[in-house]
Amino acid sequence: MLIRYLSQIGRYFLMLKEIFNKQTKWPVMKNLILKEIDDLIIDSLGIVCFISFFIGGVVAIQTALNLTNPLIPKYLIGFATRQSVILEFAPTFISVIMAGKMGSYITSSIGTMRVTEQIDALEVMGVNSLNYLVFPKIVALLMYPFVIGISMFLGIFGGWLACAYGGFSTSQDFIQGAQMEFIPFHITYAFIKTLIFAMLLATIPSFHGYYMKGGALEVGKASTISFVWTSVCIILFNYILTQLLLG
């Protein structure tokens, strides 16, 4: 079991090396990148906005309901909501969700090409199939911090609306808490995490799709396995990066 895992890890890093070899011609690559931006980034905005807005509201309401002591100032609701959304919810929680949405799409699309022998056809034509299939996804996901930035804004905005119009605190108290003791490095930390997660989101599902064997049933199994391993790696790297950058 250990040998198999080590073998898979070694194959993954060899795949990363091969992705950047023998680049596809730019006119072709440009169209591939634009297509991946549309499929991976633009198509994800709807679900990210919806989840971020309501989870921000839930975080604010739960914080307010737990601050029952009258001596605790209400502006702490805004402070706790901002910290929760910026540090953990937006970069990590959304990335785990995207591991399901983006990851399953990437694995199934590449896995289907493997099953239907389209990847073999690319190799026969002298095209570096890994560069052709995976590199555009990596470039497209460089825009992933833009998605997380929108998630941060909508999470805090949802918390503000929930508090102000739910009667849990005043608008002024929430905004005061959201502005209180703000540390700009927390934004930098969140975006550093986001870029690492974007690399994981692009490459781990691609690995499971590219190296799968079997038929249509195995494509579904590969999608499930890629989601599990992408989520595990995101949580693991989240711990490591938090320890390195904030510890």
pLDDT for residue 125 is more than 90: no
User: What predicted TM-score, i.e. pTM, was given to this entire model?
Assistant: 0.90
- Per-residue pLDDT of 42-78, as tens digits, reads 999 999 999 999 999 999 888 888 887 777 788 888 8
Tell me which of 68-82, 129-143, 151-165 is least confident. Answer: 68-82
CA separation for the pair 103, 124 (Å, rounded): 27
Phi, psi dihedrals of residue 23, rounded to the nearest 5°: -65, 140
Per-residue pLDDT, 243:
93
- Per-residue pLDDT of 80-108, as tens digits, reads 899 999 988 899 999 999 999 898 999 99
Per-residue pLDDT, 238:
93
Per-residue pLDDT, 218:
86
CA separation for the pair 118, 106 (Å, rounded): 15
Per-residue pLDDT, 117:
85
Better-scored residue on pLDDT, 53 or 120: 53
Cα 232–Cα 238–Cα 241 angle in degrees, nearest 5? 140
